[in-house]
């Protein structure tokens, strides 16, 4: 397919109804907690009320004595000897010697009803020896901080650092000191962001069963069922091949459903209960206390700029805690923070730090929003100081295709310039602002991802197609994949079905993460379709008795490739499919790879807001997202990703944070207190889809899910400065914090 | 705990079930009647994913006990379409791509239907405040609000 032939497309770029829409508006779609099996038990988890405590004794006598309790498990039921990330996952699934955070699982029970399981869990008596704890990242690496796990640091950590520092990195290029010396203005600031939660509305849920033959089955709401299989098997010491995992519909994930939490517990409980299926559904407070928050960050940024806006040098030193285990995305934060700038002199330093909090999970462009908050805030402040236009300064320093990224590799095709030009052309920049109103602007970045991908498709006897993918559909990917396959085959969109299939049906697929589903599964689906087309051409060639190469596929039919190939009327897909049983059997296509050609995505946001000087409350007046999609396969769902990312970023900037009390217990464990943006908090969110096609994808797709959460954090802080003249360097900018800053002005 | 026999009307059908007095209406709908369209997102009345009408009042079914449904009328997402004919809100949600993961969608549709019943011509702001108790984490609400306003416009024309 011609890379520049998009003007001939019939389906890609249109907005048909999604194939799973009917089930989802009628309540028929089955999500994690909607699945049940005959003879099923219910599981409940006992969780630590302490941030850091030695587990002295677990006494389940009273629970086990209850009629209807079928199994109790503790860490003693798990295999020993795991190392590395397998050990981390096992320890997070079920605490061993110590509870490492408030909400850490210490035991689990299965019983004949949900209420009975909950009652039994309350009867399990755990004796703790409470230990000193630490929550804040800077406090966790300070001298004298409680050691969460001695020996957890890897070889990258220099001597002399606190044992809670478990990973260290330093990289860059050029001479930053010489660069700062060339600058007319050098500024350095420290910024902080607090941990937030992905906040998917569907709590984690699963049903598992494992029989005496050692074979297990699981039904899980997850972004990636092969990950669930691999991780559950590792934690329980069984072969992944013995597990079959089927994904249910998923009620949001945003990265938080790419790993295991209580899923292995349900499997272990089932095994202990003689193979009866066990269902576990988390409560909201369990979700907030024990699953997926983001890392929190403390960040120093130093930038040198000439008076005409050229950045001469930049330095970032980020400290991030990702809970009681290694894995804070400090590397990603550093890679992304300067990605939009062409820099000769740049240096990065990162610390991954343990604290007594839940193990962080991925959250939409992990690390990038934190880093963007620091860098884009400082760039904005310097632009103001030098009297420069912030969009022009980004254009002046902005990376273009072929430039070396701040973190090393050369960019392929990218569209930052086109994004910035689209911002300049947008009428929002001319909208008048009143008293206490301000406008903020910021840029954001995400790499996008490929990952292991396996897709099959089969032609039906009626000339339709069924596509089997391994990437769960969270936001419309069935529709986008169906559009691409239908376009490639030359058949109606409605004639293509896309099914998310279980682990036994395809080779390994990475989760729907890294903005990869439409890119990677889409690319593989097109490749698989091309294989089926080749076979259909071969069947036509055999019937016409001409060379296979003399047949081409045009508009849903095989036809002779030219006048010399022979004179035959086109043979439609329906005709070929209708007689495939007699011409050689079923026709299908398959493709598996780690697809190359990932296209990175830049975005820029503009926010207009108003600050209430009496309360410190911020009201978003207008919001604009401009982002390079490469190619929007189904523009409505691309817009949806932009709008959803912006809303999550607005929540992170203004409201959301993990609040701990002095005992290290999470204080806001329900949605009333962990307040995500509601409909009345937001205006309409305007979007501009910039399309700089990615040459690495047959339809130009880049991946659009993640970049959009990145710019809101700094854009809002910049707008608040524009409105009321205070520079907020610690998120969230909630009313009490902003009011205090206004009073101190 | 001894279970209580409950007789109620759900989406026009008379149903009977045995409820533990501690069970919520949401639990009873989902676990005893197999009506899993109403979702539990929080269990504390903060997210609205379990929205149903109880004797015509919009409630969070996670905040109502199952035994309270005795002799009352419950309407859930499963009863929103008229046979195979979707309610205009359901149709507009699909057309406007007003759902991504779809988990909050049943609750939002039930709440929005009630809005249009009491206020057939809501402003954007009225719609946003009415739905402020229904959390959506995927969409940023933009397409949801547009779908509700579009459905309202269509329904007003039908009446006229």
What confidence category does residue A224 fall into, taking pLDDT thresholds of 50, 70 and 90?
Answer: very high
Q: Examine the domain organization and report whether B55 and B18 are in the same domain.
A: yes
* Interchain proximity B38–A646, CB inside 8 Å: no
Q: Examine the domain organization and report whether B66 and B123 are in the same domain.
A: no
Rounded CA-CA distance A171/B159 in Å is: 67
Which A positions 98-137 lie with beta carbon below 8 A of chain B? 113-115
| pLDDT digit string, tens, across residues B68-88 | 999 999 999 999 999 999 999
Q: Examine the domain organization and report whether B9 and B73 are in the same domain.
A: yes
What confidence score (pLDDT) does residue A2 get?
Answer: 39
Rounded CA-CA distance A642/B31 in Å is: 36
Q: Examine the domain organization and report whether B93 and B145 are in the same domain.
A: yes
* Burial (Cβ within 10 Å: 0-12, 13-18, ≥19) of residue A585: exposed
Coil vs helix vs strand at A423: helix
Establish if A680 touches chain B: CB-CB under 8 angstroms. yes
Looking at the predicted structure, is the pLDDT value of residue A729 above 70? yes
Return the C-alpha torsion angle A342, A343, A346, A349, nearest 10. Answer: 0
Mean pLDDT computed over A487-507: 98
Q: Examine the domain organization and report whether B26 and B44 are in the same domain.
A: yes
Mean pLDDT computed over A370-377: 98
Using CA atoms, how far residue A142 sits from A160, A194, A610, in Å, is: 11, 18, 39
Looking at the predicted structure, is the pLDDT value of residue A59 above 90? yes
With both helix axes pointing from N to C terminus, report the angle between A368-386 and A635-654 in degrees, rounded to the nearest 10. 80
At the topology level, CATH places domain A6-29+450-593 in Aldehyde Oxidoreductase; domain 4 (3.30.365)
Which two tokens mark A226? 């092969």
Query: What is the DSSP code (8-state) at residue B31?
Result: I
* Interchain proximity B140–A114, CB inside 8 Å: no
Which two tokens mark A194? 């607090």
CA angle A726, A729, A730 (to 5 degrees): 120
Chain B residues lying within 8 Å of A41, measured CB to CB: none
Rounded CA-CA distance A597/A592 in Å is: 15
Mean pLDDT computed over A59-76: 98
Q: How far apart are the first and last CA of chain B?
A: 54
Domain that holds residue B111: 88-159
What confidence score (pLDDT) does residue B159 get?
Answer: 55
Q: Examine the domain organization and report whether B105 and B57 are in the same domain.
A: no
> How many structural domains does chain B have?
2
Annotate B19-37 with DSSP letters as a single string: E-TT-BHHHIIIIIS--TT
Q: Examine the domain organization and report whether B32 and B71 are in the same domain.
A: yes
Scanning the structure block, which residue is given the tokens 């889809």? A689
**β-strand A105-111 against A69-73: which pairing, if any?**
antiparallel
Q: Examine the domain organization and report whether B108 and B67 are in the same domain.
A: no
Question: A517: which residues sit within 8 A by CB, 6+ positions away?
Answer: A469, A471, A473, A474, A477
Q: Examine the domain organization and report whether B133 and B106 are in the same domain.
A: yes
Q: Examine the domain organization and report whether B92 and B150 are in the same domain.
A: yes
> Percent of chain A, pLDDT > 70?
99
Rounded CA-CA distance A407/A400 in Å is: 15
Q: What is the CA radius of gyration of chain B?
A: 16
User: Cβ–Cβ contacts within 10 Å for residue A555, how many?
Assistant: 12
| pLDDT digit string, tens, across residues B102-159 | 999 999 999 999 999 999 999 999 999 999 999 999 999 999 999 999 999 999 996 5
* Interchain proximity B80–A26, CB inside 8 Å: yes
Q: Give the residue extent of every domain in chain A.
A: 6-29+450-593, 367-448+598-744
Which A positions 614-643 lie with beta carbon below 8 A of chain B? 634, 636-637, 639-640, 643
Q: What is the mean pLDDT of chain B?
A: 97
Q: How far is A624 from chain B (nearest CA, A)?
A: 12
CATH architecture group of domain A367-448+598-744: 2-Layer Sandwich (3.30)
Report whether A716 contacts A618 (CB < 8 A): yes
Q: Last residue of a domain, which of B47, B79, B111?
A: B79
Which two tokens mark B27? 């639990």
Closest residue of chain B to A252, computed from CA coordinates: B101
Q: What is the mean pLDDT of chain A?
A: 97
What confidence score (pLDDT) does residue A3 get?
Answer: 42
Q: How far is A646 from chain B (nearest CA, A)?
A: 7
Mean pLDDT computed over A342-370: 98
Mean pLDDT computed over A310-335: 98
Query: What is the DSSP code (8-state) at residue A251?
Result: S
Which two tokens mark A555? 């508009």
Return the C-alpha torsion angle B34, B38, B41, B45, nearest 10. Answer: -120
Looking at the predicted structure, is the pLDDT value of residue A215 above 90? yes
Which two tokens mark A529? 């379709």
What confidence score (pLDDT) does residue B112 get?
Answer: 98
Mean pLDDT computed over A28-53: 98
Looking at the predicted structure, is the pLDDT value of residue A4 above 70? no
What confidence category does residue A5 fall into, taking pLDDT thresholds of 50, 70 and 90?
Answer: low
Closest residue of chain B to A37, computed from CA coordinates: B31
| pLDDT digit string, tens, across residues A139-154 | 999 999 999 999 999 9
Evaluate whether A6-29+450-593 and A367-448+598-744 have a shared fold: yes
Q: Examine the domain organization and report whether B9 and B67 are in the same domain.
A: yes
CATH code assigned at B120: 1.10.150.120
Q: Examine the domain organization and report whether B66 and B101 are in the same domain.
A: no
Rounded CA-CA distance A386/A390 in Å is: 10
Strand partners, A243: A216
* Interchain proximity B141–A475, CB inside 8 Å: no
Edge-first strand order for the sheet with A296-305 is A165-173, A346-353, A311-321, A296-305, A185-193
Closest CA to A647 of A673, A612, A684: A684
What confidence score (pLDDT) does residue A1 get?
Answer: 37
Scanning the structure block, which residue is given the tokens 């914090």? A737
Establish if A682 touches chain B: CB-CB under 8 angstroms. yes
Question: Which residue, among B101, B111, B151, would best test binding to A if mutated, counting the most A CBs under 10 Å from its CB?
Answer: B101
Q: How far is B160 from chain A (nearest CA, A)?
A: 26
Q: Where are the beta strands (DSSP E) in A618-704?
A: 618-628, 685-690
């Amino acid at each position: 397919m011609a890379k520049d032939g998009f003007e001939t497309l019939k389906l890609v770029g249109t907005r048909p109804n999604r194939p799973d829409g009917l089930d989802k508006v009628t309540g028929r779609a089955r999500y994690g907690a909607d699945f049940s099996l005959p003879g099923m038990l219910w599981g409940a988890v006992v969780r630590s009320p302490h941030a850091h405590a030695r587990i002295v004794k677990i006494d389940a006598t009273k629970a086990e004595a209850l009629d209807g309790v079928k199994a109790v498990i503790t860490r003693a039921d798990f295999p020993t000897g795991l190392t590395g990330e397998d050990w981390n996952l096992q320890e997070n699934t079920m605490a061993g010697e110590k509870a490492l955070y408030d909400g850490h699982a210490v035991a689990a029970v299965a019983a004949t009803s949900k209420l009975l399981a909950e009652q039994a869990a309350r009867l399990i008596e755990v004796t703790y020896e409470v230990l000193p704890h630490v929550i804040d990242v800077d406090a966790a690496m300070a001298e004298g901080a409680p050691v969460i796990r001695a020996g957890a640091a890897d070889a990258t950590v220099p001597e002399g650092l606190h044992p809670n520092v478990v990973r260290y990195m330093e990289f860059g290029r050029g001479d930053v000191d010489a660069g700062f010396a060339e600058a007319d203005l050098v500024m350095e600031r420290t910024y902080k962001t607090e941990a937030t939660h992905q906040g998917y509305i569907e709590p984690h849920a699963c049903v598992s069963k494992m029989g005496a033959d050692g074979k297990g089955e699981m039904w899980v709401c997850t972004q990636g069922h092969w990950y669930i299989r691999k991780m559950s098997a590792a934690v329980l010491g069984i072969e992944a091949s013995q597990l079959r995992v089927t994904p249910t519909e998923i009620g949001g994930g945003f990265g938080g459903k790419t790993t295991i939490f209580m899923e292995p517990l349900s499997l272990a409980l089932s095994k202990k209960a003689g193979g009866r299926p066990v269902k576990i559904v988390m409560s909201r407070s369990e979700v907030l206390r024990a699953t997926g928050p983001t890392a929190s960050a403390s960040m120093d940024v130093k930038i040198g700029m000439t008076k005409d806006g050229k950045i001469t040098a930049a330095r970032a030193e980020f400290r991030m805690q990702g809970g009681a285990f290694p894995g804070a995305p400090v590397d990603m934060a550093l890679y992304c923070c300067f990605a939009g700038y062409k820099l000769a002199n740049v240096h990065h330093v990162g610390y991954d730090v343990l604290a007594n909090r839940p193990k962080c999970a991925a959250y939409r462009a992990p690390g990038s929003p934190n880093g963007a908050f620091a860098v884009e805030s400082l760039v904005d402040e310097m632009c103001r100081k030098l009297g420069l236009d912030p969009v022009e300064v980004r254009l002046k320093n902005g990376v273009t295709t072929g430039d070396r990224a701040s973190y090393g590799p050369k960019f392929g095709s990218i569209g930052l310039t086109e994004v910035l030009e689209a911002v300049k052309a947008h009428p929002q920049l001319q909208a008048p602002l009143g008293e206490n109103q301000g406008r903020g602007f910021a840029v954001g970045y995400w790499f996008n991802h490929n990952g292991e991908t396996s897709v099959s498709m089969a032609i039906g006897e009626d000339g339709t197609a069924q596509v089997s993918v391994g990437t769960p559909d969270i936001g419309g990917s069935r529709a986008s994949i169906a559009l691409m396959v239908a376009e490639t085959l030359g058949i109606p969109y409605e004639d293509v079905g896309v099914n998310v299939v279980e682990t036994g049906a395809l080779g390994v697929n990475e989760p729907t993460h890294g903005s990869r589903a439409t890119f990677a599964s889409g690319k593989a689906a097109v490749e698989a379709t091309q294989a089926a087309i080749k076979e259909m051409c071969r069947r036509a060639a055999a019937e016409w008795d001409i060379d296979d190469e003399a047949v081409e596929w045009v508009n849903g039919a095989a036809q002779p490739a030219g006048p010399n190939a022979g004179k035959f009327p086109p043979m439609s897909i329906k005709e070929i499919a209708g007689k495939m049983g007699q011409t050689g059997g079923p026709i299908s296509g398959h493709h598996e790879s780690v697809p190359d050609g990932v296209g990175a995505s830049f975005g820029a946001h503009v926010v207009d807001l108003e600050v209430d000087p009496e309360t410190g409350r911020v009201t978003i007046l207008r919001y604009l997202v401009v982002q390079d999609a490469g190619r929007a396969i189904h523009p409505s769902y691309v817009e949806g990703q932009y709008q959803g990312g912006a809303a999550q970023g607005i929540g992170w900037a203004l409201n959301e944070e993990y609040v701990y009390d002095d005992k290290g217990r999470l204080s806001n464990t329900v949605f009333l207190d962990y307040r995500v943006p509601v409909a009345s908090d937001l205006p309409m969110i305007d979007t501009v889809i910039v399309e700089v096609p990615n040459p690495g994808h047959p339809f130009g797709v880049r991946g659009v899910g993640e970049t959009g959460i990145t710019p809101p954090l700094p854009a809002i802080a910049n707008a608040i400065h524009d409105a009321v003249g205070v520079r907020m360097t610690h998120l969230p900018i909630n009313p009490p914090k902003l009011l205090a800053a206004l009073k101190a002005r | 705990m001894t279970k209580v026999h409950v007789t109620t009307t759900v989406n026009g059908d008379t149903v009977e079930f045995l409820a533990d007095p501690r069970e919520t209406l949401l639990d009873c709908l989902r676990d005893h009647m197999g009506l899993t369209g109403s979702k539990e997102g929080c269990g504390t009345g903060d997210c609205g994913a379990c929205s149903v009408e109880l004797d015509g009042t919009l409630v969070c079914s996670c905040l109502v006990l199952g035994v309270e449904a005795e002799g009352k009328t419950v309407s859930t997402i499963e009863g929103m379409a008229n046979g195979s004919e979707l309610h205009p809100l359901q149709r507009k949600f699909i057309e406007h791509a007003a759902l991504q993961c779809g988990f909050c969608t049943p609750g939002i549709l039930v709440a929005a239907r009630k809005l249009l019943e009491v206020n057939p011509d809501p402003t954007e702001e009225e719609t946003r405040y009415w739905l402020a108790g229904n959390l959506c984490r995927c969409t940023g609400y933009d397409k949801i609000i547009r779908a509700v306003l579009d459905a309202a416009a269509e329904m007003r024309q039908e009446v006229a």
